[in-house]
Amino acid sequence: MHDPHVILKVISKFLVPFIALFAFYVQFHGDFGPGGGFQAGVILAAAVILYALIFGLDAAKKAFPPSWIRIGMSLGVLLYGGTGVLTWILGGDFLSYGVLAHDPTHGQHYGIIAVELGVLCSVTTVMIAIFYAFGSRQPEVNEDNW
């Protein structure tokens, strides 16, 4: 069968893993360069959304199941709040990461990494959730109607 989008499909299939990899680079390099949880989360969601735009919503839902969304968004906030509660338990103020390690600066590093991971989880899954919710509301559009 003749597929009019073969170039788009090949190129984006090649690009999606690199976009995801870049998102993780932005996430874990956020201490040293621009970026952080918010940016990385949106870029990771953009990778899934690009996949959904090219290969269809059903394929994207197989790659990133909707059941992950509820878990991911709650896990993110829980990770952030949990870090704060952990610092409480260890004797510090809420979200004062210095108590997480012997060296306060190391504690700050651990705390920032944990908190940014929480933000990444929430932002990624919420962005994908909004896209799934909007994207599922209409039938597929014919090529001529654009």
Residues near other proteins (CB under 8 A)? 26, 30-36, 38-39, 42-43, 45-46, 49, 53, 66, 69-70, 73-74, 76-77, 80-81, 84, 94-95, 97, 104-105, 108-109, 111-112, 115-116, 118-119, 122-123, 125-127, 129-139, 141-142, 145-146
Q: Report, in Å, the least distance between residue 133 CB and other proteins.
A: 4
Q: Report, in Å, the least distance between residue 58 CB and other proteins.
A: 11
Q: Two tokens at 64?
A: 């990133």
Residue 140 to residue 8: CA distance in whole angstroms: 18
Q: Report, in Å, the least distance between residue 32 CB and other proteins.
A: 5
Q: Two tokens at 45?
A: 């969601």
128 to each of 25, 60, 104, how far by Cα in Å? 20, 10, 36
Residue 69 to residue 78: CA distance in whole angstroms: 14
Backbone angles phi and psi of 35, in degrees to 5: 125, 180
Q: Report, in Å, the least distance between residue 14 CB and other proteins.
A: 18
79 to each of 19, 22, 59, how far by Cα in Å? 25, 23, 29
Q: Report, in Å, the least distance between residue 51 CB and other proteins.
A: 12
CA-based max dimension of the chain: 66
